[in-house]
Structure 1
Amino acid sequence: MKKTLLLSVVASTMIMAGGDITAPVEPVVETPVVAEASGWDFSGQAVLYYQTRDSAAFDLFDQEASAADAGLQLRAVNKDVFSGVGMGFEVNGLSTLNLENGVVSNTMQGVGNGDIDDATDGGWISQAYLTYGFGNTSLKLGRQELPKALSPFAFSEGWNVFKNTFDAALIVNTDITDTTLVGAWVAGANHNGFGAGNNLSDFNSVNEDDGIYMLTAQNKSFEGLTLTGTGYFAAGQGSADDTVILWADAKFAVSDYSIALQGGTIMNDDLADDAVAFGAKVGANFGMFDASVAYSSTDENAVFANVGGVKTPLYTQMILNQGVISFDADYVKAAVGVKALGGKFGVAYGYAVNHADDIAGGADNNPYELDVTYKTKVFNGSTTVFAGYVLTDDDIAGVDSRNLVRVWGRYNF
């Protein structure tokens, strides 16, 4: 019987303050198991999602300030269709349920080109792949999710209605004790952004015909310590030079305490200099309470962000602050969580200690963000409900702070 290695996505479904902020990220590759012909496994989720954010022109909850989507996702997986070859398929559908006629003026995700009238109702194939395993090696070929823990600059983001995905070839090997090796060639992707203008049904090449190559090594030889190193290579197009990204992450947990370090560089001769970023995080768990403090630093030579979306791999990532932390900023984030009322409350505060002089209004400013969240499961654990409030201030003279309210529910079946 062929052995298969299953790739599971365990990146958090929301970049938010209410998560398990002190828990170390576990490797996302399971040990090899014997594949059994168990037939097709069908599952899915139904999502209702609403968000509103005020501005100088519109108040909170105004139609012009609000966006919404209803989504349905259907999934089918068979680990052994024939001779050890597995298959997986996933389709997504979105609709505003005609809320654009009086409640909202935008969608969270789009399925067409143009304004909301062209993007309200439709669907796309989000995953379609083949799998095969031999010995301690597995292959996964086709449209699929990629986890942030092993692919920090090309990963599937979970903050929106549905995750973005990639057209990729993936190989995973665990021959070396306590070590997982992952190789990938990423050919194409859709883009996970906000609004009707981000068409999730539109998959495009990420680097023309050359794609992007990735190699990751993750080691857990020492108890409580997880070391991960990742490298990307993208061949230059036209007159552009080749791009190389190197990124490392080290997480150590002992008892109820954890510490993590991260850092890397983006290298390209077209840049004024190699771009460098690094960060650190410490956390602790006190029963029903947990807390953490994180720091990140990025320079002005390149943007450190996901090629398939808008988020970053930085420990200081919050609900909305990616535009601040990804480029030329020193940032501090403090977060606390408490389990209460059948769920978990989270509060996080982030502050740019130093920020770029040449962006965000052209002034040396200190933008900040406050996130207050609550997350729980209802209906016998089948449905996850999330509510969040975000306060952001760009620290620019004459520009008011802004408020965001986000509410969603996911029913899994």
Structure 2
Amino acid sequence: MSKQSIAVIGLGPAALFFAAFVDTSKYQVTIYEKKKQGARKFLVAGKGGFNLTHSEPLDEFITRYTPQEFLIPALQHFSNADLRSWLKEIGLPTIIGSSRRVYPEDHIKPIEVLSTLLDVIQKRGVEINYEQEWLGWSDSHTLLFQNDQEVQADKVVFALGGGSWKVTGSDGSWREPFEAQGVNTLPFQASNCAYTVDWDKSFIQQNTGEPLKNCTYSAGGQTQKGETVITEKGIEGNAVYALSPDLRAALEKDGSARLEIDFKPTWSKKKVMDVMQNSRLTKMTDILKKDLRLSKVQINLLKGITSKEEFLSKKHMAHLIKIYPLTVTGQALLDEAISTVGGVALDAVKDNFELKALPKHYCIGEMLDYDAPTGGYLLQSCFSMGAYLAHRFNKE
């Protein structure tokens, strides 16, 4: 019996894992990648530490996505624990860092991870064609590439990525041909990105590049622990990245968003007040620095929104230390974002990621409209969708 043909458009994490798990005795798989090298965004993610996934229990892991329901079958089929086991099988052992994030063992570089994955799929008979840019569909509904090349396939899997980091090939230009075929797509928006704050000039001069450590951050009823950094334009870091859905929703609705920071999250407001009241120090700055152990940037933030009278009020300062209000005025540029939301609307795909408007055409990875925070969650969702779609194909 002859094999069915599968054309995979794009060579990123989702495509790699689809190709690694699809039954190549049943399907002839060909990947088309528009760049000279695939998975360039995958490699960029490896700079400064290649965070592949997170080690938390799966029931907690699932809750990190917005929305999460459409991903549950894929994550349950190929979990973060399954990923670590499989990577070890193919010679890529992993370690868990202090933050519970998962990385390749210290001696393994990102390019080695990619090379190993490519070796796995090529040994399975998967063909990869580089410098093949997909342009849409021909009049006869075949896949159309540059130079008027047409490709006919029994099934088509799109793994074209989102709309950030255009230099890697992830530019979102695919939305137009999808819309022309009646597929509902949404404009791309930045996620996991820096946020703008209208800092005072003197504050910027003193504090740009300073970290805010050991705080919690709240927006829209959600609270995140983590570290941020003061930038010339605003604030960035994993804690605000994780609040992207809530900050973005408020910005869309009101034009600004309220971000609350707790400078002493392990202390109650009463304890903060008691320490200040019982201090033997006379100057408020000394109390904040020595008794409460606030950092220079935290003290500068408090000074920046208080009058002299308010700054000397222990009651007022205790309140601000526990609930420091920060007004977020906007987001970083789309191409500066770590990831994006938007793309193919989730109501445009079935539970097996098949496009409702285009039978036998499937979409996986960041091109779907969902939020995943930093910490390995976006990569894991791509890995899981690829492995799960392969599993669904293999059962047919």
Asked if Structure 1 and Structure 2 have the same fold, meaning a TM-score greater than 0.5 normalized by the shorter chain, the answer is: no
Which of the pair is proportionally richer in helix? 2
Q: Which one has more relative contact order, counting CA pairs under 8 Å at least 6 apart?
A: 2
Which of the pair is proportionally richer in strand? 1
Larger Rg over CA atoms: 2
With normalisation by structure 2, the TM-score equals 0.26
